């Protein structure tokens, strides 16, 4: 099966999912979007109001801030794959429950397996905690862990994981926005550049080979 046909199957499964009660409240599930060969994956918590209406991740005010943060890291939205730990909006934007995260986790793992990112940016406590679990590392809280890179394996892939605050938390808290901007401007930018130049040099050496 090719990557894109297994991806289509995955999206279909998410759109039809009734594994947890969140399907009763949702307007549209939000599978995620971006290039399937992206080296960088951004993982948020769960869709909010605007995402539930449109079926697309990070399109509301937090998404606008995410675009700005990506720019600080020298990135554009169109070159990263964006998704969430939970694919349906929890009522009134409450935190997703552990059993909802658990039921949805197989979709995230399938996305990681298909996209094979080199780097994952986990936005917010829920996403960071879930990904720390996957790499077998103990979560000690955002104050300590934000902007710290961790190397680990998920689905047999070597991945650099960088947690930071959720953009929604920065919308009304200038001190959080400052930290987020600093994380994107420094550590995330450095790793993104490395990951992208690895890809470019691999493509270049293949081209050299064929020229």
Contacts to ligand URA by CB under 6 A: 44-48, 51, 57-58, 62, 84, 168
Shortest Cβ 6–ligand URA spacing (Å): 23
Grouping H, G, I as helix, E, B as strand and the rest as coil, residue 117 is coil
Helix (H) or strand (E) holding 81: strand 81-84
Shortest Cβ 45–ligand URA spacing (Å): 4
Q: What's the rounded Cα separation, in Å, for the pair 150 and 133?
A: 12
For ligand URA, which is the closer residue by CB, 54 or 199?
Answer: 54
Pick from 151, 104, 111: nearest CA to 126? 104
- Report CA torsion sign: 166, 171, 174, 177: positive
Shortest Cβ 202–ligand URA spacing (Å): 31
Q: What's the rounded Cα separation, in Å, for the pair 116 and 131?
A: 15
For ligand URA, which is the closer residue by CB, 58 or 132?
Answer: 58
**What are the φ/ψ torsions at residue 151 (nearest 5 degrees)?**
-100, 135
Shortest Cβ 57–ligand URA spacing (Å): 4
Say which residues have a Cβ less than 8 Å from residue 54's Cβ, sequence separation at least 6: 28
For ligand URA, which is the closer residue by CB, 115 or 201?
Answer: 115
For ligand URA, which is the closer residue by CB, 66 or 192?
Answer: 66
For ligand URA, which is the closer residue by CB, 98 or 209?
Answer: 98
Measure the N-to-C terminal CA separation of the chain; round to a whole number of Å: 31
Shortest Cβ 174–ligand URA spacing (Å): 19
Residue linked to tokens 């490395």: 194
For 97, other C-beta atoms within 10 Å of its C-beta total 14
For ligand URA, which is the closer residue by CB, 57 or 117?
Answer: 57
Chain center to CA of 144: 20
Shortest Cβ 55–ligand URA spacing (Å): 10
């Amino acid at each position: 099966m090719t990557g894109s046909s297994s991806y289509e199957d995955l999206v279909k499964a998410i759109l039809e999912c009734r594994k947890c009660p969140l399907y009763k409240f949702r307007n549209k599930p939000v599978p995620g979007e971006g290039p399937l060969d992206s080296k960088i994956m951004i993982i948020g918590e769960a869709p909010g109001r605007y995402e539930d209406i449109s079926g697309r991740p990070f399109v509301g005010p937090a998404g606008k801030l995410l675009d700005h943060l990506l720019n600080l890291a020298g990135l554009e939205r169109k070159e990263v794959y964006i998704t969430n730990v939970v694919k349906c909006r929890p009522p009134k934007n409450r935190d997703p429950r552990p059993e909802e995260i658990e039921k949805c986790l197989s979709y995230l793992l399938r996305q990681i397996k298909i996209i094979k990112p080199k780097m994952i940016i986990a936005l917010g406590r829920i996403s960071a905690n879930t990904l720390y679990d996957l790499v077998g590392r103990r979560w000690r809280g955002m104050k300590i862990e934000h902007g710290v890179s961790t190397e680990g394996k998920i689905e047999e892939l070597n991945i650099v994981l960088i947690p930071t605050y959720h953009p929604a938390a920065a919308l009304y808290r200038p001190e959080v926005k400052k930290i987020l901007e600093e994380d994107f401007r420094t550590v995330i930018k450095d790793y993104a550049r490395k990951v992208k130049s690895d890809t470019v040099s691999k493509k270049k050496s293949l081209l050299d080979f064929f020229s």
